[in-house]
Amino acid sequence: DMEQGRVRKLNYKSKKAIRLPRDEWIIVPGTHEGIISRRRFAAVQKQLAARSRAAHGETQHPLAGLVRCGMCGGKMELTGSGPRRYYRCCTAAKSRAACPGQPYLPMHDLEKLVQSKLQTYTPQPLTYALVHALIQTIVVSPPENDRRTIKIIWRF
């Protein structure tokens, strides 16, 4: 299938672009012959889903899927290992034209901030179910004057 219109420039003079939601993409099926059959592709996708952490009952990080880039609106992914885990913009990692990116945000800093905000509602520690029940999105903006703005959008 051919996919077009994943990103749109803010205007013709700007290099900045925003990533569009999938329902706004232009998708034309059957424009070229696939390398593999659709049936095999679906089977592989099913196998990959079966290997995911959620399928094995492993716990997901409490903030998984909630953190968004304040520049492009794209998801920020958790990367790194050990004590050096941090969030980065997925869009910027794929294309600097779509999002110029922002400095990485240490995981520990964001967890501490969210925990302190949640303590006004409940003394429970961060869990995936609790965080996803209370928080809709966390928008992380790039630092200005050595201060980073982090906006929590609550579900209530």
Is the CB of residue 77 less than 8 Å from the CB of residue 145? no
Alpha-carbon gap, residue 122 to 125, rounded angstroms: 8
pLDDT (tens digit, 9 = 90+) per residue, 102-139?
Answer: 888 999 999 999 998 888 878 888 888 888 888 999 99
pLDDT (tens digit, 9 = 90+) per residue, 21-41?
Answer: 889 999 999 898 889 999 999
Alpha-carbon gap, residue 155 to 110, rounded angstroms: 19
Domain ranges within the chain, ordered by starting residue: 1-58, 59-156
Alpha-carbon gap, residue 156 to 20, rounded angstroms: 26
pLDDT over 70 (residue 143): yes
65: left (phi over 0), alpha (psi -120 to 50) or beta: left
Alpha-carbon gap, residue 89 to 40, rounded angstroms: 31
Q: Please, what is the average pLDDT of the chain?
A: 87
Look at residue 53 in the predicted model and tell me its pLDDT: 65
pLDDT over 70 (residue 54): no
What is the band of 56 on the pLDDT scale with cuts at 50, 70, 90? low
pTM, 2 dp: 0.62
Poorest-pLDDT segment among 14-23, 27-36, 53-62: 53-62
pLDDT over 80 (residue 58): no
